[in-house]
Amino acid sequence: MKQSSPSSSAAHRIAGVDLGDLTSHVCILDSITGEVLEEARIRTRPKDMQSFFGRHEAMRVAIEVGTHSNWSSRVIADAGHEITVANAARVRLIHGGPGKNDQLDAEKLARLLRYDRNLLSPIQHRSKNSQYDLAVLRGRGALVSARTMLVNHVRGVMKSFGLRIPTCATKVFADKARQHVPSELMPALQGQLEIIESLTGQVHALDLKIRDLCSNKYPVTSVLMQVYGVAEITALTFVLSIEDPNRFNRSRDVAAYLGLVPGQRQSGSSDPARRITKSGDRELRRLLVQCAQRILGKRGIDSDLKRHGERIASSGSKDAKRRAVVAVARKLAVLLHCLWLTGEIYEPLRNSKRKPSISA
């Protein structure tokens, strides 16, 4: 990255950037007086960002997290500026209020950064290489979603005529459907069946790519896959989303980072129970919940995780099963982080085998 030695005037400048899909608004303040020194609107393209920030001496710059924040933060940092990526969803001053517009949002970002960087709930973006590999997983997910939608469409059309396609694996759905779709419906469904078949082949190709990434580029995933219910997709998503396990002081902080801990609304003596925060990576949280469901399923092996979930599920409360799944997903996130850091052999019943301590 380009290193700049800021002049006295540049060191006293702070910029806020409201990123738009086509254009972005920039507001530059004097950090001492708070006076607006410059306002500009630039196109949200790498070369325009590079041109604008390249002609300014080093500043502190705040942008909102979003579709364009990953690449734009790299461009701004490469121009020699100190970048802060704000989680604007957690800053009510930005996402709320009656007078919201792009120009004001840019100024608010700059003023919040001028006062205290922590008010912006700053986030850390993944590296470009991790983003590339994560795109493989996201691409597979998009293909699977498209295939599921088409499969449901074909089944729905068949049901409207009192017909059904037997339950089968998705990878053989097209062949199975052709055996049951009447000739009168084939003109309407032939195209969908061909696309489902094509999507299945593309999903399989990405499965092989993901397997190759796990084996050759991210071998640590094999340590995480020791846990029953955790396969390549979950292990690789966990590694790419966290990226650096040492960024957390404690393994249990990972659960909070992924939004698997209850929110708080404590005031005085009132501290009502709340649902999980659902912050962080939604896809990784969904995968961990799926793993928890497998662990608690009939085929799940006996383990500390399963026993923990079963104790909660047996409490008899109305939503005991749901709470059990979330609790196991939360403990699973902590366990995977511990295994990543230590590289230990996973023992499913490690805690249960511990002898109780003898009190004097």
CA distance linking residue 42 with residue 73, whole number of Å: 15
Residues 298 and 332 in one domain: yes
Burial class from Cβ neighbours inside 10 Å (0-12, 13-18, 19+) for residue 310 reads middle
One-letter amino acid identity for 185?
Answer: L
158: number of Cβ within 10 Å: 18
Whether 41 is covered by a domain: the verdict is: yes
Residues 110 and 166 in one domain: no
One-letter amino acid identity for 53?
Answer: F
Residues 189 and 253 in one domain: no
Angle between helices 232-242 and 320-342 (to 10 degrees): 70
Which of 98, 123, 148 marks a domain boundary?
Answer: 123
pLDDT for position 264? 54
Looking only at the bridges linking them, the beta strands covering 36-43 and 23-30 are: antiparallel
Residues 326 and 205 in one domain: no
The CATH code of the domain that includes 45 is: 3.30.420.10
Residues 246 and 348 in one domain: yes
Q: Give Cα separations from 285 to 246, 254, 255 (angstroms).
A: 20, 11, 9
Whether 359 is covered by a domain: the verdict is: no
Per-residue pLDDT of the chain (360 residues; tens, 9 = 90+): 344 444 444 558 999 999 999 999 999 999 999 999 999 999 999 999 999 999 999 999 999 999 999 999 999 999 999 999 998 777 766 666 666 788 888 999 999 999 999 888 888 888 899 999 999 999 999 999 999 999 999 999 999 999 999 999 999 999 999 999 999 999 999 999 999 999 999 999 999 999 999 999 999 999 999 999 999 999 999 999 999 999 999 999 999 889 898 765 555 555 455 566 777 788 999 999 999 999 999 999 999 999 999 999 998 777 889 999 999 999 999 999 999 999 999 999 988 877 555 443
CA distance linking residue 194 with residue 185, whole number of Å: 14
Phi-psi region of 268 (alpha: psi -120 to 50; beta: other; left: phi over 0): left
Whether 2 is covered by a domain: the verdict is: no
Residues 150 and 75 in one domain: no
pLDDT for position 97? 62
Residues 97 and 135 in one domain: no
Cβ atoms 334, 254 nearer than 8 A: yes
Which of 93, 123, 153 marks a domain boundary?
Answer: 123
**Shortest CA distance to 76 belongs to which of 109, 117, 44?**
44
Q: What are phi and psi of 24, to 5 degrees?
A: -125, 145
Whether 323 is covered by a domain: the verdict is: yes
Tokens at 237, concatenated: 């998503």
CA distance linking residue 89 with residue 105, whole number of Å: 13
Q: In a 3-state reduction of DSSP, which class is residue 354? A: coil
Whether 46 is covered by a domain: the verdict is: yes
Residues 159 and 202 in one domain: yes
Residues contacting residue 346 through CB under 8 Å, at least 6 positions apart: 223, 226, 227, 335, 339
Angle between helices 282-296 and 304-313 (to 10 degrees): 90
pLDDT for position 352? 80
Whether 3 is covered by a domain: the verdict is: no
182: number of Cβ within 10 Å: 10
Residues 46 and 138 in one domain: no
pLDDT for position 268? 57
CA distance linking residue 265 with residue 248, whole number of Å: 24
Number of domains in the chain: 3
Tokens at 199, concatenated: 């999507």
Residues 186 and 247 in one domain: no
CA angle 261, 266, 267 (to 5 degrees): 170
Q: What are phi and psi of 13, to 5 degrees?
A: -115, 140
Residues 113 and 133 in one domain: no
Q: How many CA atoms lie within 13 A of 158 on its CB side?
A: 22
One-letter amino acid identity for 182?
Answer: P
One-letter amino acid identity for 230?
Answer: V
**Shortest CA distance to 105 belongs to which of 20, 231, 202?**
20
pLDDT for position 6? 44
Count of residues for the chain?
360
Which of 104, 123, 142 marks a domain boundary?
Answer: 123
Q: In a 3-state reduction of DSSP, which class is residue 276? A: strand
Whether 296 is covered by a domain: the verdict is: yes
Residues 119 and 135 in one domain: no
Whether 113 is covered by a domain: the verdict is: yes
Q: Which domain holds residue 83?
A: 8-123
pLDDT for position 147? 98
